[in-house]
Structure 1
Amino acid sequence: MKKILLGITTTLLLAFIVGCSAEKEASSSEASDENGKDKTITFGVTPWTSTVPPTKIAGLILEDMGYTVEETKANVGGVFMGLSRGDLDVFMDAWLPMHQVHLDKFGDKLDDTAVSYPKAETGWVVPTYMKDINSISDLKGKEDLFNNKMYGIEEGASATKESNEIIKAYGLDMKQVNSSEGGMIAQASRMMAQEKPVVFYGWRPHTMFNKFDLKVLSNDQGFFGSSSVHVITNNKLKEKAPDAYEFLSNWSISIDEVEAMIVEIEENGKDAEKVAREWINNNQDKVNKMLGK
């Protein structure tokens, strides 16, 4: 009887091991094609509202192409580091020339794959009720109106570095106060609700230009200005997933479309993937063009 029970137990144990092994192999194969190539594409996602719509749209299209898509959240420095190491495959929201420092740093480990939209305004902004403040030089001597503070985004961002350079170049008696995008907007919003003087970092596409009456301050020293937003990939994606790379190299979307989607997500509370899928369904001709059809 003991021998019979031992035989049954052994058989069941072997069946369990074989079953687990088969399940593991099946799970692993889900992210690989019939030739054993990796079918997973990982996007780097910065904590900016402008990153979400293009990332979701590109991700859904790649899933429709048979890829498994993953997202990894990081600050912009971490995203470029991940791309250079091959931990990340794609970043949909690189701002040039602002992020050129990262392209220079990692050189041929990165691929400047496509231009998403060519002109995105960025810089220091103030509410339009501040009629006498139209340029950064207008801030000189009036820093105390702003409690000697300029509000910016996270510490590691290129925009943060450039804002500190502006303060130095113009000899402003101001200190940049850094926080997340959401924290910066919340602080500016509280002050604008009382029509208090406030200066902070702004850019399009962003809902701030839909919610508030803002103007970008001009400057005569070449800071910020108009940026072009690019798709950056690691240098191995072209070989790893040539059809995915080809699609991303044809990527193009207007700043107005991105801003409209940000409003739907941030202001109207719609699910980001649903908004992205709606855009795909309503713009199949553009999708087909990016797919080379």
Structure 2
Amino acid sequence: MSSRISGPIPARRAAAVTTLLLAVLLSGCSGSSGGSGGKQASGAPSPRTEPTAPASPSAAPDAAAYRRWGLDKPLAAPPAPPSAKLTDGLKPGAAPKVIRRVPTNDKVVFLTFDDGAEKDPEFVKMAKDLKLPFTMFLTDDIARAGSGYGYFEQLRGEGNRNTINNHTLSHPNLRTLSADAQRREICGQQDVLEKRYGGKPPLFRPPYGNYNDATLAAAGGCGVKALLLWEVTMQINDMRYAQGDKLRPGDIVLAHFRGPSELKGTTMTRMVTNMLRSIERQGFTVARLEDYV
């Protein structure tokens, strides 16, 4: 679910819109999934580096770092990743694997952030302090707004721990587009990200979670290996589950780059703190999605 509401917002311009946007936030982004909106140019591309380079080992964050962000203790270290990934052996140009939840018995979940409308510098500090692994799915016209792609480059972390992936050029409902239009949206963003980072990202999330056979064909032809959906959506204070009322091993959590205007005054860092507290309370930790997919 991604949101596309002129910058992923659950608080619109009027009371009726506020209600609608709250519903969008709860579902992860209107439709079956969501995204968001924005526009403007950004600076020059960063040095070319493989976007899916493995994260380099680093020391675990200390308890003091977690306490600074309102958390009682660090998350448990994730287990060693599996020896084989879900996309291993996929032939070039083949339709990508559709992944809603990662098959694992490990008590791990995977954090993903969509769109790119909110560019809170405090979240950069938080991600660095906590050494938090997450995956970004950026929409070009939204990510370019304000400080642009430079903001997300700061979030990549040591060894490109947090990768930047495809969420289309302009966040349309792909099921409403022709095959050629879908190809332009998906391949166009692949090209944008390849120019910046030196390689086509292997992961793609369709806006609103909406896709069809033409989407899969276009994505595979553009170098995408996996189409990522989700089972859990982050809300302001807690999470919403597609099944049941708690996390399950391998759940993919959908969140968004959102700020106080969309979160009823709550900051993005507070939203993430609430999310991490819930994950830890349920006996889970956070793993790096790219180590499994």
TM-score (norm 1): 0.25
Higher relative contact order (CA 8 A, sep 6+): 2
TM-score (norm 2): 0.25
Larger radius of gyration: 1
